[in-house]
Structure 1
Amino acid sequence: MTSPASSPVPARRAPRGDRNFGLLTAAAIITNLGTSGALIAAAFAVLESGGDAGDVGLVAAARTAPLVLFLLIGGAVADRIPRHRVMVAANALNCVSQAVFAWLVLTGSAELWHMMVLTALCGTGQAFFGPASEGMLMSSVDGEHAARAFALFRMAMHGAAIGGAALGGAMIAAMDPGWVLAVDAAAFAVAGLLRAFLDVSHIPGRAAGGGLLSDLRDGWREVAGRPWLWAIVLQFSVVVAVVGAAEAVYGPLVARDQLGGARPWGLALAAFGVGTLGGALLMIRWRPRRLLLAGTLCVFPLALPSAGLAIPLPVTGLCAVMFVTGVAIEVFGVSWMTALHQEIPEEKLSRVSAYDWFGSVAMVPLATAAAGPVESLVGRSAALWGCAGLIVLVTAGVLLVPDVRNLTRRGTVKGIGAPAAAPESADAESPVGRLG
């Protein structure tokens, strides 16, 4: 009998994949344009209502807590009922919560507890939306198109996020942050409407299951039975937490104390954003045969920003490091999504995605909370070198897993249920596909 870790999963072909791809991409661009500006607006809304940095942190934590709490449930729900319905319902929740947030800010009646509750509702919506969205995206492309589609989708999302942050910042400088929140609410409404028209006729019907807990256990068995999967999820539980602490806590402090203020750090973050666009563009053309080996090797550069801040590098050097890091993380991201698309059964995509997301976000609050005490204990430079060392250590450890080194891209398969074709060459090109 073939083990879960090695059993091939046929590639999936969506009869209307191009239509779904277009709808998913358009909706993602719209929501990223709105949300990137809204995150900035929420912080300024807290400050303009009389709050301090601690209050901004409380509002941010209010968004993260339900995300961690409900992610696994969201993944199970998205594999149980049509995913586009989950996405639309989550968009509706986010639309209403942001609209109320905007109204309270614009009328000057927003209190801290209002903002925390409304932000928590946004986090809850994201917990259900994320796994459903990723599952919908992966079920809408076939093996031949997947990698290039994922790269195009991620490039569109990153471009929208960069543009949204710039637009949001400009709007906040010119008007009340409540208007930026109102734009975000409208963006969720439009995106939800687009997602309501997704075609799910190509997705097989779900067999009656044993309940939500049974679905969660089934998803866990899928993760635990694949060494490459759980190893990388564990790796990124450390990597994302460490990068979050370095860039959210130490980066602004180094910029303030040693680089001349907020502007250099803003330039470095912009360089990272440009790097992600470059990495996505690279992955449209490059198709590494050993997906996870190529992706994991590109995690090592994520240690560079922490090391650059520890030195610290001058602004030009830091921007160069952040650009390289942006390129590298996109190589990993596209390779990782392609591996999940290739190896995970369609009916379990959202549950596996939820465990992946959970691993990535669960330790972030702990790491950011510990950043200050660790700096007091060992010093900022030592803490940053420690961040870089942890990234290198866990990434080297993942390379010891044979499946990470050896999992290869398989050939194109037309139609659900067909046998897998022979592996493609490393530099083969494929037509444009779609990621949702």
Structure 2
Amino acid sequence: MSTTTPNQTDPRRLRGSPLLDPAFVRLWCGTTASGLATWALPFILGLAVLDGSLGAVGLGLVLATRTAGFLVAVPLGGLLADRHSRRSVVLWSGLAAAAATPVLALGLGTSTALMAAAAAVVGVGQGACRPAFQALTAEVVAPEDRQQANAALTFSVRGATLLAPGLTALLSTVTGTGALLLVTAALWLAAALLPPAGAAAGTGERAPRAAFHTEFLEGLAEARRHPWFVAGLGALTVVIALGYSATNVLLPLASRDHYGTEAVLAGALTAYTGGALLGAVLVSRWRPPAQGWTALAGLALYGLAPLSLILPVGPLAVMAAYAVVGVGVELFNVPWFTAAQREVEPGKLARVSSLDFLFSYGLAPVGLALIAPAAQAFGAGPVLLACALLCVAAPALAALAPGAREFRTP
């Protein structure tokens, strides 16, 4: 039995940068592999639509079932990761996604229903591993190194979003979509097998265990014990549901209608990812005073994205606004993850992290569904202005919560 709790420093670990620790490097490679597999799949399926092996309706169905599987698995994955070894949850969720992906390839051109079922399993694997990876990071990395570790992890996520489309398009010139899907299966296998065991065996040694719904409520109670977390999660949910949705729905329209070219869309999204990479590098070392308020201010910068689509500015100004937004998002993300790993009770960290992913990403489809009808009813300008104001107001209100100044529980 391990006597090292998740928030204690294992003396076997190397001091200094976590990037010099082989255990963290394995964890980083595993999360990077899962990120590449996650972000590559929509582009591979898009290529399948272009070559005629999948219809547009089928594409929507497959992506919808993957999202549904993700949303169902996130809270379940958090519960399992707090009951058992976080490493084992990462292993089995990655293996599930790896096993289901060849079934996706098998269904290409033959059965959309089979593809949808396989995509749901892939989504389950993707959702279950997210809170487990968060909790495993707290076990593998010493507390004083976690901000730099989280910055490296988010850097890999942003790098995956930047590289996955290009790599997919490049590989498509030499192989078919079925083979590309098998490549993502190999990435999921790497995500399952590469991460190391944590410093603790998990919390499954406690007995007797409560029922699943009881332990889920315990996770809710633990989240509510940290007012800054509840307020920050509310702000993050608003910003993703509105600002992110405006970017995905109205930016393509603005690129076409205002500027007459898709180059603004591509340039803005690339600038956003570039800004996020820069923000991850910046926050890996920067420890500002009032870190919580600084993080929330960074989140509020997302208001520039919808605002840049209202004002009569040139394409370069839109791209610059999105670059600043990218920096601001990482100024929030890295301290946010680090604070949760520090403040939340270790045995409940995965459940609290699952609530983070469930609410922030789970409500994003609602925003995506409502933005376009709202723009048709009230006009794109008023909707974008409302999104910009709410993206600023929500973090400002969250900054008033107890403990929000430093992301520390009073």
**Worse overlay, 334-343 or 60-69:** 60-69
1:83 matched to 2:79? The reply is: no
Q: Gaps spanning 5+ residues in structure 2: where?
A: 14-20
For the Cα contact (< 8 Å) 2:134–2:353, is it kept in 1?
Answer: yes
- Indicate how the Cα distance of structure 1 residues 316 and 174 shifts in structure 2: closer, same or farther if over 3 A, else same: farther
RMSD across aligned positions (CA): 2.3
Structure-to-structure mapping, 1:226-375, within 5 angstroms = 226-311=226-311, 313-375=313-375
TM-score (norm 2): 0.90
**Worse overlay, 323-332 or 234-243:** 234-243
- Per-residue CA deviation, residues 228-253 of structure 1 (Å, 9 max, x unaligned), is 11111122221111123212211112
**Worse overlay, 243-252 or 370-379:** 243-252
Partners of 1:57 and 1:354 lie apart in 2 by: 25
Amino acid aligned to 2:164: G
- Per-residue CA deviation, residues 378-401 of structure 1 (Å, 9 max, x unaligned), is 011221112111111212211221
Partners of 2:168 and 2:6 lie apart in 1 by: 43
Amino acid aligned to 1:291: Q
1:13 matched to 2:16? The reply is: no
For the Cα contact (< 8 Å) 1:70–1:124, is it kept in 2?
Answer: yes
Q: In the alignment, what sits opposite 1:432?
A: none
Partners of 1:54 and 1:232 lie apart in 2 by: 37
Q: Gaps spanning 5+ residues in structure 1: where?
A: 1-8, 411-436
Partners of 1:307 and 1:174 lie apart in 2 by: 42
- Indicate how the Cα distance of structure 1 residues 383 and 59 shifts in structure 2: closer, same or farther if over 3 A, else same: farther
Q: Secondary structure at the match of 2:140?
A: coil
Displacement after TM superposition at 1:213 (Å): 1.6
For the Cα contact (< 8 Å) 1:37–1:169, is it kept in 2?
Answer: no
- Indicate how the Cα distance of structure 1 residues 363 and 33 shifts in structure 2: closer, same or farther if over 3 A, else same: closer
Amino acid aligned to 2:80: V
Higher relative contact order (CA 8 A, sep 6+): 1
- Per-residue CA deviation, residues 202-235 of structure 1 (Å, 9 max, x unaligned), is 7666412212122111111101121111111122
- Indicate how the Cα distance of structure 1 residues 162 and 137 shifts in structure 2: closer, same or farther if over 3 A, else same: same
Q: In the alignment, what sits opposite 2:31?
A: 28
Identity %: 29
Displacement after TM superposition at 1:30 (Å): 2.5
Partners of 1:234 and 1:211 lie apart in 2 by: 27
Amino acid aligned to 1:72: P
For the Cα contact (< 8 Å) 1:91–1:125, is it kept in 2?
Answer: yes
Amino acid aligned to 1:57: G
Among candidates 93, 99, 102, match of residue 99 of structure 1: 102
**Worse overlay, 381-390 or 127-136:** 381-390
- Indicate how the Cα distance of structure 1 residues 136 and 73 shifts in structure 2: closer, same or farther if over 3 A, else same: same
Displacement after TM superposition at 1:27 (Å): 1.4
Q: In the alignment, what sits opposite 1:191?
A: 191
Partners of 2:204 and 2:213 lie apart in 1 by: 20
Displacement after TM superposition at 1:64 (Å): 1.6
- Indicate how the Cα distance of structure 1 residues 306 and 378 shifts in structure 2: closer, same or farther if over 3 A, else same: same
Aligned residues: 398
Q: Secondary structure at the match of 2:164?
A: helix
For the Cα contact (< 8 Å) 1:84–1:132, is it kept in 2?
Answer: yes
- Per-residue CA deviation, residues 84-121 of structure 1 (Å, 9 max, x unaligned), is 1111111111111112212333xx32x33233222211
Amino acid aligned to 2:197: L
Amino acid aligned to 1:67: F
- Indicate how the Cα distance of structure 1 residues 203 and 85 shifts in structure 2: closer, same or farther if over 3 A, else same: closer
Partners of 1:248 and 1:184 lie apart in 2 by: 24
Structure-to-structure mapping, 1:99-248, within 5 angstroms = 99-105=102-108, 108-109=109-110, 111-173=111-173, 175-195=175-195, 197-201=196-200, 206-208=205-207, 209-248=209-248
Amino acid aligned to 1:14: D
Displacement after TM superposition at 1:47 (Å): 5.0
- Per-residue CA deviation, residues 174-229 of structure 1 (Å, 9 max, x unaligned), is 5422222111011111222213x434447666412212122111111101121111
Partners of 1:348 and 1:77 lie apart in 2 by: 11
For the Cα contact (< 8 Å) 1:291–1:408, is it kept in 2?
Answer: no
- Indicate how the Cα distance of structure 1 residues 11 and 191 shifts in structure 2: closer, same or farther if over 3 A, else same: closer
**Worse overlay, 65-74 or 145-154:** 65-74
For the Cα contact (< 8 Å) 1:91–1:188, is it kept in 2?
Answer: yes
For the Cα contact (< 8 Å) 2:84–2:201, is it kept in 1?
Answer: no
For the Cα contact (< 8 Å) 2:147–2:334, is it kept in 1?
Answer: yes
Partners of 1:259 and 1:15 lie apart in 2 by: 58
Amino acid aligned to 2:84: I
TM-score (norm 1): 0.85
Q: In the alignment, what sits opposite 1:422?
A: none
- Indicate how the Cα distance of structure 1 residues 285 and 96 shifts in structure 2: closer, same or farther if over 3 A, else same: same
- Indicate how the Cα distance of structure 1 residues 24 and 298 shifts in structure 2: closer, same or farther if over 3 A, else same: same
- Indicate how the Cα distance of structure 1 residues 232 and 77 shifts in structure 2: closer, same or farther if over 3 A, else same: same
Amino acid aligned to 2:133: S
